[in-house]
Every structure is written in C-alpha cells, then in structure tokens.
Homo-oligomer: A and B are copies of this chain.
Amino acid sequence: MSDVHQEILADVFSKACPSRDTLEHVTGRWGILAMMALTEGTFRFNALRRRVEGVSEKMLAQTLQALERDGFVHREAQPVIPPKVEYSLTPLGEQTAAKVIDLVRFLEGKLPEVLAAQQRYDAAKG
C-alpha cells in the first residue's frame, strides 16, 4: 500500500482508523504539555516532570512512550553510570507541536471569553 493511498484513507471520524489513537496521544492532557515543553529543548525525565506540573511519574512515562512509538519524540539513552536518558522532539514532533501550540495559545487568549460564557451558563441554570 503506497503512502498516498494510506493518506487518503485516514479518517478520524472512523472508529477503526488508527489516526484516532495518534490524535489522542498528541491531544491528551499530558501529551500536549509534554510536547509543548519539549519545544523548549531537550529534557531529562525528572526535569520534564517538573515542567509538566501535576503529572505523575507513571503517566509521564506512558505519555513519552506513546509519543516515541508514534515518532514524535526521540529518546536518547547514553551508556553511562548513572544512566542518562534524554527526550527531544523529532522533526515530525516539532511540526506537530507547532500546530498544538497554535491551538493552545488561541484558547489561552480566549480564556476570558470562555470564563464569561461559563458564568452566563451557570447563572441561567442556577
């Protein structure tokens, strides 16, 4: 199957399309924050965990593993003692992170509008 053919078939609306899983890795809470953090540079695990406030060790490990498997994150393990493992974005990860950041910055900018809508909604229900 050629790339072009696969490209045409990808449809996130379809339950069976693997693009749904990849979309979730990128747009899950921790996926978004990990990718955004990695646009700032290469991180060791614990430093990344401090940057992504609130993430558990287990969730960050799972998130990075899924992003590495999808080809967004590069994991570099150096054979030294103590072990040194560094995470960075691949070129595909950089491109993807740029789209994610565009969405996040937009929503951060619209937060006052969102909070006002929430107040109106709650007042109408209340």
Contacts and interface: CB of A to CB of B under 8 A. Distances in A.
A85 interface: no
Given A27-B27, A32-B23, A109 B10 contact: yes
Given A103-B99, A110-B96, A33 B53 contact: no
A65 B56 CA distance: 29
Contact of A116 (B71, B100, B111, B114): B71
Interface residues of A, number: 55
A44 interface: no
A36 interface: yes
A118 B7 contact: no
13 contacts: A6-B111, A12-B104, A15-B54, A18-B115, A19-B108, A19-B111, A19-B114, A24-B29, A69-B122, A70-B117, A71-B114, A92-B114, A102-B102
